[in-house]
Amino acid sequence: MESVRTQVVIIGAGPAGLLLGHLLHREGIDNIVLERRSNEYVLQRVRAGVIEWGIANFLEEAGVGQRMRAEGLVHHGIEMRFDGVSHRIALSDLYDGRAITVYGQQEVVKDLINVRRSYDAPLHFDSEVTGIEGLNSAHPTVTVTAPEGEMTISADFVVGCDGSHGVSVESVPRGYMRRFERVYPFSWLGILAEAPPATEELIYTRHSRGFALYSMRSPTLSRLYLGVRPDETLDAWPDERIWEELTVRMATDHTAEIGQGPIIERGITPMRSIVVAPMRYGRLLLAGDAAHIVPPTGAKGMNLAVADVRLLAPALVARIRGGDESLLNSYSDDSLRRVWRAEEFSTYMTQMLHPHPTDDFENGVQMARLRQVVESEPAARALARNYVNLSSV
């Protein structure tokens, strides 16, 4: 078995792992990124779409935002649609001119992979971490099953950027980390279609038949979602049914028809909230979905992952380069304050926009919240600040 030594081992080549690897490399900290999936799989995985104002600025400062600035769609508002009427939330007017950028997560991942390739730092695909030992020692080790065989890597620190249910959390003694979870009574059926979006801005819809979201990736690519029952499967949703349901739920008295076209990607994602605390055990740190999951209604998942890494990278540099552990010691508490804020906002958006299947009192309360957002400027301003920049305040 091959043995390798580095300063930081990063498990997972999603936005968190790849960005952390890049930030550490820029500071001269040796690191290895390990990804169990193939390069092709990681690049085609369609997920998040909205980048917050502060996060977009950070990606640009980190030197990985050029294509995002060139190709990303800058949006100054979103629409909230219910009772057949559309209400625009003028995000930028409500929040000092700040805007969101619509740019697919797989494009962010592509930019991060390309920059890592440009300086030839270690990035191993098809390489699954199967074990982590010695997290309370000075040099923990990870065991990797890679195409070239088994490998052990010894490091100063291990960072779990391995998403939910990853090996990193499983390596911590049972009972040390708490897992807070909420499961919502619906899932999202998401499609990517080769169809020009029939809207300039995102449309969030609450309809008696369920939730719908109209998003996009480019002037020719639409990204659309339907709230469905949690036990739904894709084979119950042929293309015709998807388009018909989207049309019904998005309809207003003057709606432009939904732009239809070939569906090139589809999937069903469960709606849940998870927080794992603390986000550290000895020489193991957690970042991104490994530590928290939010329902995507608030468009916070990827933004939170980047915000964790923005805090973790300088903490690791200070500790490895100068022995200063203070930032590492405060990393979990500082991150969890932001994570719980994102959980609150994502839950607020999810409950407000998804009719509850059985609880009509809950539905009455949620409709009142929705009407308040479109009738009260302070309520709209609060939503704008959380939607546009929660992860950076």
Residue choice 50, 89, 123, 328 for contact with ligand PHB (CB under 6 A): 50
List 207, 292, 300, 354, catalytic entry: 300
- Residue 122 binds which of ligand FAS, ligand PHB, none (CB < 5-8 A, kind-dependent): none
Cα-atom radius of gyration of the chain, to the nearest Å? 21
CB atoms within 10 A of CB 357: 12
Residue 48 binds to ligand FAS (criterion: CB under 6 A): yes
- When the beta carbons of 65 and 190 are compared against ligand FAS, the nearer one is 190
What CA–CA distance (Å, rounded) separates 321 from 327? 13
- Residue 215 binds which of ligand PHB, ligand FAS, none (CB < 5-8 A, kind-dependent): ligand PHB
The helix (H) or strand (E) run that includes residue 35 is: none
Q: Two tokens at 234?
A: 């894709």
- The DSSP call for residue 298 is G
Min dist CB 241 to ligand FAS, Å, is 21
What is the widest separation between alpha-carbon atoms in the chain? 67
CA distances from 339 to 170, 184, 236, 241 (A): 21, 18, 35, 36
Residue 281 a catalytic site member? no
Min dist CB 301 to ligand FAS, Å, is 2
Min dist CB 135 to ligand PHB, Å, is 34
- Residue 297 binds which of ligand FAS, ligand PHB, none (CB < 5-8 A, kind-dependent): ligand PHB
| β pairing state of 203-207 and 210-218 | antiparallel
User: What residues from 217 to 276 belong to the interface with ligand PHB (CB under 6 A)?
Assistant: 223
CA distances from 356 to 270, 294, 360, 365 (A): 15, 18, 7, 11
Residue 204 a catalytic site member? yes
| β pairing state of 50-51 and 100-102 | antiparallel
Task: For residue 365, count CB atoms less than 10 angstroms from its CB and return exposed for 0-12, middle for 13-18, buried for 19 or more.
Answer: middle
Cβ partners under 8 Å of residue 235, min gap 6 = none
Residue 102 binds to ligand FAS (criterion: CB under 6 A): no
Min dist CB 313 to ligand PHB, Å, is 26
Using DSSP's 3-state secondary structure scheme, residue 47 falls into: coil
Positive/negative CA dihedral, 170, 176, 177, 179: positive
- The DSSP call for residue 231 is T
Residue 342 binds to ligand FAS (criterion: CB under 6 A): no
Q: Two tokens at 133?
A: 């030992």
Task: For residue 382, count CB atoms less than 10 angstroms from its CB and return exposed for 0-12, middle for 13-18, buried for 19 or more.
Answer: middle
- When the beta carbons of 155 and 203 are compared against ligand PHB, the nearer one is 203
Residue choice 14, 21, 197, 227 for contact with ligand FAS (CB under 6 A): 14
Backbone angles phi, psi at 78, to 5 degrees: -130, 165
Using DSSP's 3-state secondary structure scheme, residue 160 falls into: strand
Min dist CB 64 to ligand FAS, Å, is 14
Residue 75 a catalytic site member? yes
Residue 292 binds to ligand PHB (criterion: CB under 6 A): no
List 75, 124, 207, 292, catalytic entry: 75
Binding mask 109-148 for ligand FAS (x = CB under 6 A): -------------------xx-------------------
Segment near ligand FAS (CB under 6 A); pick from 10-18, 55-63, 197-205, 313-321: 10-18
Residue 301 binds to ligand FAS (criterion: CB under 6 A): yes
> Mind telling me the catalytic residues?
75, 204, 296, 300, 387
Footprint on this chain of ligand PHB (rule: CB under 6 A): 48-50, 202, 213, 215, 223, 296-297, 299
Residues of this chain that interact with ligand FAS (CB under 6 A) are: 11-17, 34-37, 42, 47-49, 105, 128-129, 161-163, 166-167, 267, 269, 288-289, 296, 299-302, 305
